[in-house]
Chains A and B, each alone.
Chain A
Amino acid sequence: MKIILADALTIAAKDLRNELKSKQTIGMMIIFSSLVILIFSFAFDPTNNTVKAIIPGLIWVITIFSGLLGLNRSFISEQENDSLTGLRVAPIDPSSIFLGKVVANLVLVIIVQLISIPILFLLFDYRFHGEMIWFLLIVLTATIGFIVIGTFLAALAANAKNSEMLLPVLLLPLLSPLMIGAVQATKIVLEQEGMKDAVSWLQLMAAYDLLFFAACFFLFEYLMEGS
């Protein structure tokens, strides 16, 4: 287990170093999320007060859209020089590849969120009143779930020629329960309503995270087996 973790960190560090050098994926993700916010501010007039109600939804729309860009890259980039095969012939557990990719993608998406959510609040002139800790906890839980299942399906979709198109089609239906929970919980926290409901949504999301993490962790080696 320790070895799996160490290998995963090695792989994640390699991905992040690559990203730090080129800054391509992260740059695109940030620009794209800003553009989505811009388009939304045309679609829903930000000066209108009722628009505040859609803020929780917008947080997740921009996270998913920009996250999809990063997820698409994470396994496609391993096809250059067929380096995924290099990882597969290395004496490591296949799950450490999965874990490493999850960590790298998670870092990327969290960086994007750190930039795009304040921009969203700024452009929609939204004042944050809720409890910060709960808000962060909810965002983190839902993002982990999104990245776990997203990374898994990105590895699956990378086998197809049209993987960029395939990934959203595979991912979005599976994300639906998580997104319902995330949007509802975020709404409750932002509007400072009953925290009890938010906690039960949080529990649902945590259960979803754990369940899919376990399933993906064990099924990943089937994705890595060549034939």
Chain B
Amino acid sequence: MLELKEITKIIGDKIILRNFSLALSPGESVAVIGPNGAGKSTFFKLAAGLMQPTSGEILLNGEQIKKKTHLLKKRIGYLGHESFLYNSLTPLENLRFYGKLYKVKNIEEKGMELLKAVGLHYFKDIPIRSFSRGMIQRLAIARVLLAEPEFLLLDEPHTGLDQEAVSLLNQLMKERQKQGISILLISHDFEQVINVCDRVLILNKGRVISDRNIDPQLELMSFKKWYEAAVIGK
């Protein structure tokens, strides 16, 4: 259970987030959408322990996280805009390095398993410099899953992926969700949002302006209409 309570974040003299609250229970998948500059990425950075909120608190399983960010960091898998991978290392070396930092046991087995799951095991000994954007993104996903986090923070994971990779990613996410892992997703791709998530928040100018559940039968068009009405209507 990850809770953010009345988080406010001020950077410079801009208020990025105002009184933002969110509770994420196990197995839930929540999408955060909104126009550019709404504060989505900042919210992720706060949740990943990269930043401290100006006011408000973050609770992990009821325990306050303040300076003990490593408790939080260990349970969170953060997939950012960039892959965080080293170009001169091979996929397996990359996973081994991060596995050591996250204190993962039997890294070798788990690494190979994940490489197979994301379909990169044939390339395990090639430096990733020559990889395409889609392959790197798949490896980045493997890196995030390696530490078996309880919460996945995915910042636009679908960008630059082809159809095949998208369905692979969605399948991986669904699997994890069934195991009780919570997923937070930032996306501009509404189709994937409907596919993956049970609940959606709209952020605008640092505030949650709308919050609703998604049922799988929802039409893309009506979802878009609802989003536009929520953002422009205010």
Contact = CB atoms under 8 A, between A and B. Distances in A.
A87 B88 contact: no
Interface in B72-86: 73-74, 76, 78, 80-86
A80 B94 CA distance: 14
B101 A87 contact: yes
- Contact residues on A (Cβ < 8 Å of other chain), bracket: 20 to 34
Interface stretch (A15-23, A44-52, A111-119): A15-23
Given A85-B50, A86-B98, A225-B52, A80 B70 contact: no
Contacts of B34: none
B49 interface: yes
B229 to A, nearest CB: 35
A83 to B, nearest CB: 5
Contacts of B52: 225
Contacts of A17: 89, 93
B45 interface: yes
Contact of A83 (B76, B85, B102): B85
25 contacts: A7-B101, A11-B101, A18-B89, A80-B86, A80-B87, A81-B82, A81-B85, A82-B80, A82-B81, A82-B82, A82-B84, A83-B84, A83-B85, A85-B50, A85-B82, A86-B84, A88-B50, A89-B76, A89-B78, A90-B101, A91-B70, A91-B73, A92-B70, A93-B70, A227-B51
- B70, B84, B103, most chain A CB atoms within 10 A: B84
Interface in A71-85: 80-83, 85
Contacts of B70: 91-93
A227 B11 CA distance: 7
A91 B74 contact: yes
Which label, helix, strand, loop or mixed, suits the secondary structure of the B interface?
A: loop
- A10, A85, A90, A93, most chain B CB atoms within 10 A: A90
B16 to A, nearest CB: 11
A77 B71 CA distance: 28
A14 B97 contact: yes
Contacts of A92: 70, 101
A18 B101 contact: no
Contacts of B71: 91
B34 to A, nearest CB: 21
A90 B98 contact: yes
